[in-house]
């Protein structure tokens, strides 16, 4: 009896599955398009004319923009102006800049993400290779003509422009004017000054940076010929972190450890370094524009200068470009592109400079007297000229761990720089190979 | 023929859900079954084919960008992960309806049998009564089980399935790229490819060492503190208890971040005290070995209060006369502890010991907040010297988007914890003899 029962059940299941199986066949065959998986925009033959430059916001459009909390006021004011001009309301939502791409990975295709995003350019590789960003072809000419070439490259991926650059940032050298009247121009000057000031036993340090962060350490390796990836940081087969220049840079780090900073890489982090600088125990602090507000509000008498030269070579820092991007899955892509452009014009960047001290990426704005006469901003912009935008290719994820541990082996355990760096590059290559 | 009704009813129910019930003259029940069938077909027919197609192929077209004039537009394609999720949901719904369908045939058959035997079939009110009174627990459990199906089973199925795909950055992240089934390739890579297996086995060894040491130190540390507080001649017992419970009451997020600064080798107070006594201090968080020691010390500080509370509770429950008898026999304090106290404690707390062990394998907070996995270790893939498997999994998922690899690791962790827990739990005395303490 039982067997009979089971047999009927199975038969019935097949009937149900077969009935609806047909449906699936149709669903699958309906779209026999090639499975290329390319992000490159293909020319649409029907609409090839390029006279159609004007974007018009979709009827009934409303936009959401993600940005960090400190941009709230700027975006509210600009949003109101945008609505006045285009009739499209803009809503600001607070999402940290470095969290946006991770959020976009899930929320973008699900239709829950903001229409316009803002994140540092080193995240663009992940976002663009996942097809989450709308290429910026509408305002390509404007972006290329207004910004430095490296800025444009930083917000492009695989030769396609995605971003609407808003501001640039890099680190430079903060100096405490009460301890050292003029910023030292070279490392020789620093070592000379250290003879009278440096006293680690009593917590007096001449020069410090976040030793654990390769973001900063890179400047030492890169200043004499080291580099991350070849071909403007796009060729992951060519890694320049163990060439002669990089080794020379690592040797300088060893010298700094012996003479200036006799501690372990893990001992100094952002907060500890800030504490030292604030109570006058640290004379020269390698830091970014994000530290300005804190140092100002604590009443420190400080100045900012470009990083010191090594011999005759200026130090090459890592830089970041903050840019707006349009979510590929935005319901109102035309309005979103207009907004991204609206927020990144020269006028908008000037306003953002006045409100939030952001360094403009727009070259005209950077040369505007209001910007160029600000000593602090000028120093950062000078350093930016000697900087390399962080690589944005996804292979970058395989670099941090091996190179950070190589630096800490060199610094903490006195391992031979050449051996440690060779080993790190070996590991990076094998890690990239497993992707 | 005596089987006439039961066969006809069952076959009718196979043909159309509820028809057998109607044949058995259970009108209302038959109509309810019919409606459920209609609902099921209404939901499933347009979806099932697409769901199965989606699950099998995980999509066939990718999205692309098309230039329209100067601006660019998106042409949507298939999103493999959404297809997979939709597929799982539809299949689960199908299973629910198939179960109801089976119940319907079984019910028709049983009631037909009753008619064959000349008994009356229940009317709807009586059936309702039967379900809600006689089978009340099943009735009440039905809705939570539905919840479990969609909020627990579904995500678990989803993450298990991910382990058999190539869903990982940078080359297989939808919607730009499609995800494909790759069978056991992820597991093979994890266990055989040098850079992955090196990390996996390295972290596995440290995870096991950590789980054992963290559990043992907290457990015996807690018992020791409890014994000290309970020992004769100690005054202010309440005060000691309160002091020792404080670490448990402070949110870990805060205490661990403070600890992190305390243990800073150069600027932290601990090494500054050492320097005060002319000692060199230790690289608490910057040396791979000492970082592990520091983690276990800090974990003791956090974990001892719970074990202490447990032990205090059990200690007060041990009958005094056992100790008195032991004293009459001339037992030393250590003998009393070994023969009376410890067996009682172990009996009562062994299941908790096992859950603590399992919990320590996944002890995310301490590692993540104290060291963040550091110090860095170059030959590990996306992990540092003190990372546990679970913090590695976190990094792989949220920082590096290697979803397939982290799903595979998740499965392995689950198998490990489940088997250790089941095996050791079945060996505890409290599982075998429930009534030792009564």
Query: For position B374, which CATH number holds?
Result: 1.10.3720.10
**Cβ of A138 and B72 within 8 Å?**
yes
Does one domain contain both B142 and B244? Answer: no
Domain count, chain B: 2
pLDDT tens-place string over residues A255-285? 999 999 988 888 888 888 999 999 999 999 9
Does one domain contain both B232 and B166? Answer: no
For chain B of 438 residues, list the mean pLDDT of each consecutive stretch of 10: 80 90 88 93 93 92 86 88 94 93 92 86 83 84 88 93 90 88 92 88 94 94 91 86 89 90 86 86 88 94 91 88 89 87 87 89 92 83 90 88 92 92 82 58
- Closest CA relative to residue B95, chosen from B34, B146, B158: B146
pLDDT of residue B398: 84
pLDDT tens-place string over residues B209-222? 999 999 999 999 99
Q: Which residues contact B377 (CB under 8 A, 6 or more apart)?
A: A401, A405, B202, B288, B383, B384, B385
**Cβ of A401 and B376 within 8 Å?**
yes
Calculate mean pLDDT across residues A323-342.
Answer: 95
Asked if the C-beta of B79 comes within 8 angstroms of chain A's C-beta atoms, the answer is: yes
pLDDT tens-place string over residues B237-268? 889 989 988 988 889 899 999 998 899 888 88
The alpha-carbon gap from A28 to the nearest alpha carbon of chain B, in Å, equals 7
Does one domain contain both B211 and B123? Answer: no
Burial class, A400, CB count within 10 angstroms (exposed 0-12 / middle 13-18 / buried 19+): middle
Which residue of A21, A33, A41, A214 to mutate against B (max B Cβ within 10 Å)?
Answer: A41
The alpha-carbon gap from B6 to the nearest alpha carbon of chain A, in Å, equals 11
In a domain, B243, yes or no: yes
Q: In chain B, which among 366-385 make CB contacts under 8 A with chain A?
A: 374-384
In a domain, B204, yes or no: yes
Q: Give the end of a domain, one of B174, B208, B239.
A: B174
Identity of the residue in B101, B267, B379 whose CB atom sits nearest the CB atom of A12: B101
Nearest-Cα residue of chain A relative to residue B60: A35
Nearest-Cα residue of chain A relative to residue B98: A13
Tell me how far apart the alpha carbons of residues B343 and A35 are, in angstroms, rounded to a whole number. 66
**Cβ of B66 and A49 within 8 Å?**
no
The alpha-carbon gap from A335 to the nearest alpha carbon of chain B, in Å, equals 12
Identity of the residue in A37, A136, A264 whose CB atom sits nearest the CB atom of B178: A37
Asked if the C-beta of B278 comes within 8 angstroms of chain A's C-beta atoms, the answer is: no
Asked if the C-beta of B74 comes within 8 angstroms of chain A's C-beta atoms, the answer is: yes
Share of chain A above pLDDT 70, in %: 87
Tokens standing for A336? 């979103």
Q: What is the DSSP string of B129-193?
A: HIIIIITHHHHHHHHHHHHHIIIIIHHHHHHHHHTTB---TTTS-TTTS---B-TTHHHHHHHHS
Please say whether the beta carbons of B409 and B160 come within 8 A: no
**Cβ of A129 and B70 within 8 Å?**
no
pLDDT of residue A312: 87
pLDDT of residue A84: 94
Q: Give the end of a domain, one of B146, B174, B202.
A: B174
Stretch (H or E) spanning A205? strand A205-208
Identity of the residue in A50, A105, A267 whose CB atom sits nearest the CB atom of B266: A267
pLDDT of residue A7: 53
pLDDT of residue B430: 67
* DSSP conformational letter for B153: I
Does one domain contain both B83 and B132? Answer: yes
Does one domain contain both B264 and B139? Answer: no
Calculate mean pLDDT across residues A303-330.
Answer: 93
Asked if the C-beta of B426 comes within 8 angstroms of chain A's C-beta atoms, the answer is: no
The pair phi, psi for residue A186, each rounded to 5°, is: -135, 170
Identity of the residue in B74, B106, B176 whose CB atom sits nearest the CB atom of A130: B176
**Cβ of A424 and B70 within 8 Å?**
no
Q: Tokens 């968080």 identify what position?
A: B285
Which residue of A11, A15, A23 to mutate against B (max B Cβ within 10 Å)?
Answer: A23
Identity of the residue in B70, B266, B379 whose CB atom sits nearest the CB atom of A263: B266
Tokens standing for B303? 């974990």
Tokens standing for B74? 């998106």
ipTM: 0.76
In a domain, B437, yes or no: no
Measured between beta carbons, the chain B residues lying within 8 angstroms of A403 are 378
Give chain A's mean pLDDT.
Answer: 86
Q: In chain B, which among 323-342 make CB contacts under 8 A with chain A?
A: none
**Cβ of A24 and B52 within 8 Å?**
yes
For β-strands A156-157 and A160-161, DSSP reports them as antiparallel
Which residue of B12, B170, B261 to mutate against A (max A Cβ within 10 Å)?
Answer: B170
Q: Which residues contact A344 (CB under 8 A, 6 or more apart)?
A: A164, A165, A166, A323, A324, A361, A362
Angle of helix B342-361 relative to helix B194-230, nearest 10 degrees, comes to 150
- B381 Ramachandran zone, left/alpha/beta (phi>0; psi -120 to 50): beta
User: B378 lies in which domain range?
Assistant: 188-432
Tell me how far apart the alpha carbons of residues A171 and A424 are, in angstroms, rounded to a whole number. 25
Measured between beta carbons, the chain B residues lying within 8 angstroms of A431 are 195, 381
In a domain, B181, yes or no: no
Tell me how far apart the alpha carbons of residues A49 and A41 are, in angstroms, rounded to a whole number. 15
In a domain, B35, yes or no: yes
Q: In chain A, which among 251-290 make CB contacts under 8 A with chain B?
A: 263-268, 271-272, 275
Does one domain contain both B284 and B417? Answer: yes
**Cβ of B378 and A130 within 8 Å?**
no
pLDDT of residue A52: 43
Does one domain contain both B164 and B200? Answer: no
Q: Give the end of a domain, one of B151, B174, B197.
A: B174
- Check whether A27 has a pLDDT greater than 60: no
Does one domain contain both B29 and B144? Answer: yes
Tell me how far apart the alpha carbons of residues B213 and B191 are, in angstroms, rounded to a whole number. 26
- Check whether A309 has a pLDDT greater than 70: yes
Which pTM was predicted? Answer: 0.80
Please say whether the beta carbons of B346 and B436 come within 8 A: no
Please say whether the beta carbons of A268 and A211 come within 8 A: yes
Q: Which domains does chain A have, with CATH numbers?
A: 60-169+320-389 (3.40.190.10), 170-319+391-433 (3.40.190.10)
Asked if the C-beta of A159 comes within 8 angstroms of chain B's C-beta atoms, the answer is: no
Does one domain contain both B264 and B399? Answer: yes
Does one domain contain both B161 and B211? Answer: no
Q: What is the DSSP string of A269-323?
A: -HHHHHHHHHTTSEEEEEE-GGGHHHHHHTT--EEEEPPPBBTTBPP-EEEEEEE
**Cβ of B66 and A44 within 8 Å?**
yes
Q: Tokens 């697409």 identify what position?
A: B50
Measured between beta carbons, the chain B residues lying within 8 angstroms of A205 are none
Lowest mean pLDDT among A60-69, A216-225, A426-435, B225-234: A426-435
The alpha-carbon gap from B102 to the nearest alpha carbon of chain A, in Å, equals 7
Does one domain contain both B128 and B202? Answer: no
pLDDT tens-place string over residues A195-208? 999 998 888 999 99
Measured between beta carbons, the chain A residues lying within 8 angstroms of B380 are 401
**Cβ of B177 and A36 within 8 Å?**
no
- Check whether A347 has a pLDDT greater than 60: yes
Does one domain contain both B142 and B272? Answer: no
**Cβ of A267 and B377 within 8 Å?**
no
Measured between beta carbons, the chain B residues lying within 8 angstroms of A134 are 65, 72-74
């Amino acid at each position: 009896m039982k067997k009979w029962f089971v047999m009927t059940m199975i038969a019935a299941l097949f009937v149900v599955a077969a009935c609806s199986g047909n449906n699936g066949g149709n669903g699958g065959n309906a779209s026999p398009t090639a499975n290329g998986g390319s992000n490159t925009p293909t020319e649409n033959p029907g609409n090839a004319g390029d006279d159609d430059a004007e974007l018009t916001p979709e009827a009934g459009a409303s936009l959401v923009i993600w940005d960090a909390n400190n941009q709230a006021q700027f975006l509210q004011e600009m949003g109101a102006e945008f609505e006045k001009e285009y009739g499209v309301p803009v809503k600001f939502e607070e999402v940290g800049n470095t969290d946006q791409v991770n959020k976009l990975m899930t929320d973008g295709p699900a239709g829950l993400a903001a229409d316009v995003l803002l994140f540092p350019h080193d995240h663009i590789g992940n976002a663009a290779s996942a097809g989450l960003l709308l290429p910026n072809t509408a305002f390509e000419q404007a972006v290329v003509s207004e910004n430095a070439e490296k800025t444009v490259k930083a917000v492009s991926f695989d030769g396609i422009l995605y971003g609407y650059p808003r501001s640039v940032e890099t680190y430079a050298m903060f100096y405490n004017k009460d301890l050292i009247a003029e910023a030292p121009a070279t490392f020789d000057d620093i070592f000379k000054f250290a003879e009278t000031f440096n006293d680690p036993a009593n917590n007096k340090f001449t020069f410090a940076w976040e030793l654990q962060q390769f973001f900063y350490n890179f400047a030492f390796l890169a200043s004499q010929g080291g580099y991350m990836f070849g071909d403007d940081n796009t060729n992951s087969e060519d890694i320049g972190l163990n060439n002669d220049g990089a080794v020379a840079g690592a040797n300088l780090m060893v010298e700094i450890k012996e003479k200036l900073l006799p501690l372990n890489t893990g001992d100094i982090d952002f907060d500890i370094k800030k504490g030292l600088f604030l109570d006058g125990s640290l004379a020269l602090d390698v830091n970014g524009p994000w530290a300005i507000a804190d140092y100002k509000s604590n009443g420190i008498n400080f100045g900012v200068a470009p990083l010191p030269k090594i011999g005759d070579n200026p130090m090459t820092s890592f830089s970041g470009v903050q840019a707006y991007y349009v979510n590929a899955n935005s319901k109102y892509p035309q309005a979103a592109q207009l907004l991204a452009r609206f927020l990144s014009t020269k006028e908008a960047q000037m306003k953002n400079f006045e409100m939030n001290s952001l360094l403009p990426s727009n070259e005209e704005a950077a040369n505007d007297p209001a910007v160029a006469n600000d000593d602090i901003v000028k120093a950062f912009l000078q350093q930016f000229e000697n900087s390399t935008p962080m690589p944005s290719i996804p292979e970058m994820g395989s670099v941090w761990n091996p190179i950070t541990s190589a630096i800490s082996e060199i610094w903490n355990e006195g391992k031979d720089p050449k051996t440690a760096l060779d080993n790190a590059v070996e590991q990076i290559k094998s890690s990239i190979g497993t992707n | 023929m005596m089987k006439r009704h039961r066969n006809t009813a069952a076959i009718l129910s196979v043909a159309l859900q509820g028809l057998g019930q109607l044949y058995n003259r259970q009108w209302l029940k038959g109509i309810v079954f019919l409606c459920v069938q209609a609902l099921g077909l209404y939901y499933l027919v347009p979806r099932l084919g697409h769901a199965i197609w989606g699950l099998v192929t995980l999509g066939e077209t990718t999205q692309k960008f098309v230039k329209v004039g100067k601006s660019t537009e998106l042409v949507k394609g298939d999103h493999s992960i959404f297809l997979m999720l939709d597929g799982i949901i539809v299949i689960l719904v199908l299973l629910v309806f198939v179960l109801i369908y089976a119940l319907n045939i079984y019910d028709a058959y049983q009631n037909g049998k009753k008619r064959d035997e000349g008994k009356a079939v229940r009317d709807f009110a009586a059936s309702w009564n039967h379900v809600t009174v006689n089978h009340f627990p099943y009735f009440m459990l039905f809705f939570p089980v539905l919840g479990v199906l969609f909020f627990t089973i579904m995500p678990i199925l989803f993450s298990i399935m991910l382990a058999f795909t190539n869903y990982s950055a940078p080359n297989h992240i939808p919607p730009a790229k499609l995800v494909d089934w790759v069978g056991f390739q992820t597991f093979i890579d994890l266990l055989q490819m040098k850079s992955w297996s090196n990390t996996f086995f390295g972290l596995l060894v440290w995870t096991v060492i950590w789980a054992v040491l963290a559990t043992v130190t907290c457990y015996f540390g807690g018992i020791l503190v409890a014994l000290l507080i309970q020992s004769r001649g100690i005054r202010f017992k309440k005060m000691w208890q309160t002091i020792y419970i404080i670490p448990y009451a402070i949110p870990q997020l805060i205490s661990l971040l403070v600890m992190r600064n305390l243990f800073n080798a150069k600027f932290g107070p601990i090494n500054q005290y050492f320097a005060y006594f002319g000692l060199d201090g230790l690289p608490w968080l910057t040396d791979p070995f000492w970082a592990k020691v520091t983690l276990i010390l800090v974990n003791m500080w956090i974990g001892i209060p719970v074990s202490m509370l447990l032990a205090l509770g059990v200690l007060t429950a041990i009958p005094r006369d056992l100790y008195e008898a032991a004293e009459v026999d001339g037992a030393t304090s250590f003998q009393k502890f070994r023969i009376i106290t410890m067996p009682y404690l172990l009996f009562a707390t062994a299941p908790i010991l096992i859950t603590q062990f399992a919990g320590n394998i996944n002890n995310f907070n301490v590692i993540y907040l104290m060291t963040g996995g550091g110090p860095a270790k170059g030959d590990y893939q996306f992990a540092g010297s003190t990372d546990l498997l679970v913090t590695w999994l976190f990094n792989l998922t949220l920082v590096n988007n290697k979803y397939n690899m982290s799903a595979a690791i998740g499965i392995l962790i689950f198998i490990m914890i489940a088997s250790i827990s089941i095996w050791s739990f079945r060996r505890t005395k409290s599982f075998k003899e429930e009534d030792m303490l009564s």
